[in-house]
Structure 1
């Protein structure tokens, strides 16, 4: 399949232009909403939308350009996925699984494996990632499915469940035990082509019925003596868990696209409702309490977008730091967006629960669908535990201000083509820490020496101070195999520091490129995002609520007006988002 491109255009526009082209290709959003509601009620797979994504050429964006695909920019893939997710999160989960299933092949595959997998993906074959088992979940080291070596290859025995696309996929990247149970070197990855398996040696397990993403193929697969050739082994024997952990750094980062699409969908629905719902001759959006909720939700979504965007670009330019970045963003994005959807439900009232109300009936679906994102590719506690284990490196890096300035500048240059991703640069833990957070004190100091929008320098300085306090508490934490709950709370605080720092880096790098856009005028989005981040951070650290910064007086009202205008006209509701077509506008 030929990759779909939308022209080169100015460097800063390619990713957003690709997203706009995809949105246009997917047709009338009102019809999409009706179709996804019918499929959800019937628990039916979104085959038509997935076929449209195939026709657009989205599978090519799952294959690196060096293997004949179109994947050379994870920022572009982030925008493409969020575009689909704001229409139907279920279809995004179903289709994007192929990227997750194939990523370990790009990391550790032989030339023959990469050629075969690339050809299959480009031809539209779904690929699944078969990691979890019924009795072990995220505890991969204690999985029981075995791949027993014999002279001609491997014999598979055991079960994988629950697996996204276990039944529909033609290929599986399978984690199997090839050594002692519980050993980091006791598992290997194998590429399984189901078409080559002997009948009677394997079986599909029934679809699991789920609360959200109801039509998706969440099922399983069992093996009883299925044989694979020796060339099915992916990488050296015993390296399966290490390869999975490296792959998870990419997939965890990109899962943020699901949250961005869900959050944007919910925000647009609520903003249009508050703009048109009139009580006592006055729209809800003009009342202080609804305006403050709408403003806070828009600010938190902007902070989520900044963290996700900088992380997606860091895949290319700060690859060695993804051990921190991926865990941070994977825990942060679904947490903030779940909070946003909860607050927006308050604005919508009964409409947030109804299924058959035109337009607003979609809110209950996106709220249900998004709840599973926090579990994907390692749950929030799993990612926070991974972050806690890296606290010593983060504390050292913060103390010295260590940062890869060139890599950080490239990560913050949103929209510009990134450098190539070197998969060999993926490491299990970041030796440097996080350039994004560790450069925050210097950035906050620099903002005090130049003209900035009213209150921005004060927000930056306060965030830097809270970040310093956080690292002091991180340094005081004693290492432990099972960290206390307090450690997880510090990890949650670190996520917010990362988001706030990402906001500042992206605003500083992009303020001139976006001059004239309503959310960028007078630093509107970044001031609102920093205020919202500081409020949550102060609560986690149990410090006094942040004092208002200059210019915060009418921030809620201004943000609410901009968001409601954008939601009703189809303009972007986030600082880096693409426009959304209204009913009847898409081809």
Structure 2
């Protein structure tokens, strides 16, 4: 088993069966916390004890984070059980990223030691916290002010609402000059702040999205004065991993629930799964999940192999995974009429997107479209990020760029990948329909890049950015299959490119372009994919390109149904 998936499987097994109310990290426990707007402190402590916090810290600073693919799969596993817990615990990683990028080794090691030994801030707002400071003037929400002092800097002010009360130290922007543009990044102790009442959220309830106020608190400068905005933007190129994990984990949870219900339920003595329209929608959903997984694999490995392209890779992956998760969670709600877990997942995912700035991510991708148009067509090496056999080097933060000036290696390598599929079709390894659909994808990508340079209208640019994310996803699927199919020759999902053909058909459909062969290609592709999906479900495995047994499937069926 690929190492990141083995780590995820081990964590899943240690957490126990989520359908068992006797387990701490169970669906029932999370539902109760959600109903009470209560922070999942005990579950977060369990994750700390299992070592998850160590994966928020690079190995050179004493942690276990050697590659970001490991971190993604671990956070995905947490999100598959509960999105709120993933956000509540994962924000300690988000807060630490600026430190890993630009802080001095001594400062980074200090934060790393705190996280590895799981010394996390346990204060939560419970009516009256901070009441001792009752003579302060009304708070002005915005960047705090940092003033130089003999010991470093002194921080005064209130941060906007954000889930910043878990980690012992947090990175934040503060003003270091008279102009608002003079922003710098600081590392400050959260337990020295006053906690104000958290905002009541529609979803991810209990994650303490409340403001923090500092009164003359000492803080350490990260990087240099005035570099805060640039550092925040570069940090975003690494923090999207939490957003993507929340999206894919949400898909994992609701799709399995929907499949289980649909396969069991009947209407007028007919199984729902036997109805053509239902079968089609479920197979499309499974194809969406596999495509999302392929995108996440390429994107997380690109952190190490193509850090200079993360300004495009991160937003493209985030937009695709978020859009697919929104649609699939809504589909699960329609198919199951489930207000409980599915309803919670729907609320959590929508709110997490609003809090993390999903629209800003789309705009950041749209703003680079002209640059992507100019770089498209340049010769590109093989997409090493798609090959699981490729060793990942250490991250080089100094290679992060605000703009992907060389474009996307993945997209620039699409013509060669399509030619490779055509050769495999001629050799009988894959179908000619698949090679034809890949050719259609290449034509769509060519046409799209011709439009990118003229995307001046904001609304048109946003729509083109979404189409770009779909083409990016399709290219990721092609490369993941090409670079790994030889190692999975005995897997029905991989043999003959079953999953790839279905994913291309699905993604071309989302692009509103028919595949090669039209209707028969769609029917054949989905017809071949459906048995693989059902086989994984009945075998008690994670629905995945790389499945592994799930702990909840080890319980007797009658016990799971009662839970």
TM-score under structure 1 normalisation?
A: 0.85
Give unmatched runs, 5+ long, in structure 2: 21-25, 123-140, 557-563
Residues 568, 365 of structure 1: alpha-carbon distance in 2 compared, 3 angstrom cutoff: farther
SS of the equivalent of 1:154 reads strand
1:19-30 equivalent positions in 2, closer than 5 A: 19-30=8-19
Task: Decide whether the 8 Å contact of 2:436 with 2:516 is kept in 1.
Answer: no
Q: Contact 2:44 / 2:85 at 8 angstroms: preserved in 1?
A: yes
Please tell me whether residue 534 in structure 1 is matched to residue 528 in structure 2.
no
- Residue 562 of structure 1 and its aligned partner are, at CA, apart by 2.8
Cα separation, partners in 2 of 1:522 and 1:285, compared to 1, 3 Å: farther
CA distance in 1, matches of 2:507, 2:521: 17
Deviations 1:129-188 (A, max 9, x none): xxxxxxxxxxxxx9442112344433323211211143x4321212101124342xx101
The 8 Å contact of residues 142 and 159 in structure 2, kept in 1 or not, is answered as no
Match of 1:369 in 2: 348
- How many residues of Structure 1 are paired with residues of Structure 2 in the alignment? 529
Q: Is residue 2:372 matched to residue 1:394?
A: yes
Contact 1:153 1:227 in 2 (8 A): no
Given the alignment, which residue of 21, 34, 41 partners 1:40? 34
Q: TM-score, normalised by structure 2?
A: 0.89
**Residue pairs, 1:100-139, within 5 angstroms:** 100-126=94-120
Match of residue 564 from structure 1: 534
Residue number among 402, 406, 416 corresponding to 1:442 in the alignment: 416
For the 8 Å contact 2:204–2:352, the answer to whether it is kept is no
Change (3 A) 1:28 1:512: same
Given the alignment, which residue of 14, 17, 40 partners 2:3?
Answer: 14
Distance 2:180 2:537 in 1: 51
2:185 paired with 1:189:
yes
Matches within 5 A, 1:329-478: 329-348=317-336, 350=337, 352-353=338-339, 355=340, 362-379=341-358, 381-398=359-376, 400-403=377-380, 405=381, 408-409=383-384, 411-414=385-388, 417-451=391-425, 452-454=429-431, 455-478=433-456
Whether contact under 8 Å (1:503, 1:529) holds in the other structure is yes
**Residue in structure 1 matched with residue 549 of structure 2 by the alignment:** 579
Q: SS in structure 1 opposite 2:186?
A: strand
Describe the superposition over 1:395-414 as per-residue Cα deviations: whole angstroms up to 9, x where unpaired.
1221x3242x26x22x1113
Pair 508,549 (structure 1): closer, same or farther in 2 beyond 3 Å? farther
Shift of 1:585: 4.7
In the alignment, the residues of structure 2 paired with residue 180 and residue 329 of structure 1 have an alpha-carbon distance, to the nearest angstrom, of 37
Deviations 1:81-104 (A, max 9, x none): 111111111111111111111111
Is the contact made by 2:95 and 2:164 (CA closer than 8 Å) also made in structure 1? no
**Aligned mates of 1:415, 1:37 — CA distance in 2:** 40
Distance 1:111 1:555 in 2: 52
Deviation of the 1:416 alpha carbon: 5.0
Shift of 1:557: 3.9
C-alpha contact (below 8 Å) 2:143/2:159 kept by paired residues: no
Where 1:162 maps in the other structure, the secondary structure is coil
For 1:23-49, what per-residue CA distance to the aligned partner results, in whole angstroms no more than 9, with x for missing partners?
000012212112212222222222222
Any conservation in 2 of the 1:85–1:92 contact (CA below 8 Å)?
A: yes
Matching of residue 290 in structure 1 with residue 278 in structure 2: yes
Alpha carbons of 1:233 and 1:45: their partners in 2 closer, same or farther (altered >3 Å)? same
Change in 2 beyond 3 A, CA 1:376/1:512: farther
The match for 2:131 is none
Given the superposition, is the C-alpha separation of residues 194 and 280 from structure 1 closer, same or farther in structure 2, using an over 3 Å criterion? closer
Question: Matched residues in 2 for 1:211 and 1:567: separation?
Answer: 31
Asked whether the 8 Å contact 2:467–2:511 carries over to 1, the reply is yes
Give me the whole-angstrom Cα distance separating, in 2, the residues matched to 1:376 and 1:560: 36
Residue of structure 2 equivalent to 1:203: 194
Q: Deviations over 1:525-556 (max 9, x none)?
A: 11111111111112xxxx67875276532433
The equivalent residue for 1:7 is: none
3-state SS of the aligned residue for 1:372?
helix
Looking at structure 1, the residues matched to 218 and 455 of structure 2 have their Cα atoms a distance apart, in angstroms, of: 47
Determine which of 206, 223, 228 is the counterpart of 1:215. Answer: 206
- By how many angstroms is 1:470 displaced? 0.4
Q: 1:104 to 1:415 in 2, by over 3 A?
A: farther
Go from structure 1 to structure 2 and tell me whether the alpha carbon gap of 1:35 and 1:584 turns closer, same or farther (over 3 Å shift). Answer: farther
What do residues 252-311 of structure 1 show as CA deviations (whole Å, max 9, x unaligned)? 144211111100111100111111112233321121011011011111121111111100
Distance in 2 between residues matched to 1:415 and 1:220, nearest whole Å: 45
- Establish whether residue 490 from structure 1 lines up as the match of residue 478 from structure 2: no
When structure 1 is superposed on structure 2, of 466-475 and 511-520 the one drifting more is 511-520
Please say if residues 436 and 515 of structure 2, whose CA atoms lie closer than 8 Å, have aligned partners that are also in contact. Answer: no
Aligned pairs (5 A) from 1:34-113: 34-113=28-107
CA separation in 1, counterparts of 2:164 and 2:547? 29
Instruction: Measure the CA separation in 1 of the matches of 2:491 and 2:354.
Output: 35
Q: What residue number does 1:9 align with?
A: none
CA displacement 1:210-259 (0-9 Å, x = unmatched):
11111222222012x32315xx1111111111111111101114421111
Q: Which string of whole-angstrom CA distances, capped at 9 and with x for unpartnered residues, describes residues 372-400 of structure 1?
A: 23235432x212221222223211221x3
State the structure with bigger RCO (CA 8 A, min sep 6), 1 or 2.
1
Q: Which runs of 5+ in 1 are unaligned?
A: 1-11, 129-141, 356-361
Q: Does 1:281 align with 2:269?
A: yes
- Structure 2 CA distance, aligned partners of 1:545 and 1:42? 49
Equivalent residue, structure 2, for 1:157: 156
Query: Counterpart of 1:119 in 2: which secondary structure?
Result: helix
Distance 1:435 1:310 in 2: 11
1:305 corresponds to: 293
| SS state at 2:353 partner | coil
Q: In the alignment, which residue of structure 1 is the partner of 2:133?
A: none
RMSD value over aligned CA atoms?
2.2
